[in-house]
Structure 1
Amino acid sequence: MKLLKIFTFFTLIASLVSIVCGFLLELEYSQKLIGFGVVGIFFVVFPLFSYYRWKGKSMKDYMLTKENLDKMRENQKNNKY
């Protein structure tokens, strides 16, 4: 799992460097650098990061079911300021 975290981090850095180089360098393919950087962030980095952070967690804990709403109301009553 550590390998996935490292790969995601380096892909993020590469995408950000690509975007910055596209803005700062006066090249004929500057717009392509910016585009590849944005595509890298949204189609590679974000899904890998989401997978890494959500792995092993139950989706049911984050859904608004009747049981979860009742828990939230109970916690809100107990934690009144």
Structure 2
Amino acid sequence: MKTVMKILGIIILIAIGVGFYYRLNGDLLTGDRIIGISVLASAFILMPIFLVVRWRGKKLKDYTLSEENLKKMKDRGID
């Protein structure tokens, strides 16, 4: 899954570069479309894959402010 994420990230970066290349050479509409599709792909495809990879095997309970975690913080002296 990490390999897929890296390959997809590289493809998106290349597509953004190609979009700016088209914009600089006078084809603004095509360049804007390529950049827009790349940004959408990064937001709706790459980001969810990244979140799945990073959160796999972790407990959400450890990162929320529950009564138990607040008590642990008070015992340690963290305000």
Decide: shared fold, TM above 0.5: yes
**Which blocks of at least 5 consecutive residues in structure 2 are unaligned?**
none
State the match for 1:48 in structure 2: 49
RMSD: 1.5
Q: Which amino acid aligns with 1:11?
A: L
| SS in structure 2 of the partner of residue 29 of structure 1 | helix
Q: Hey, what does 1:23 align to over in structure 2? A: 20
- 1:74 Cα offset (Å): 2.0
Identity of aligned residues (%): 34
Code of the residue aligned with 1:40 in structure 2: it is: A
The count of corresponding residues between Structure 1 and Structure 2 is 74
Distance in structure 1 (CA, Å) of the matches to 2:53 and 2:43 = 15
SS in 2 for 1:56: coil
Does residue 32 (structure 1) correspond to residue 29 (structure 2)? The answer is: no
TM-score (norm 1): 0.81
Deviations 1:7-66 (A, max 9, x none): 011111111111122112233511111011101111111100100110111111111101
**Structure 1: 5+ residue runs without aligned partners?**
none
Runs of 4+ residues deviating >2 angstroms: 24-28
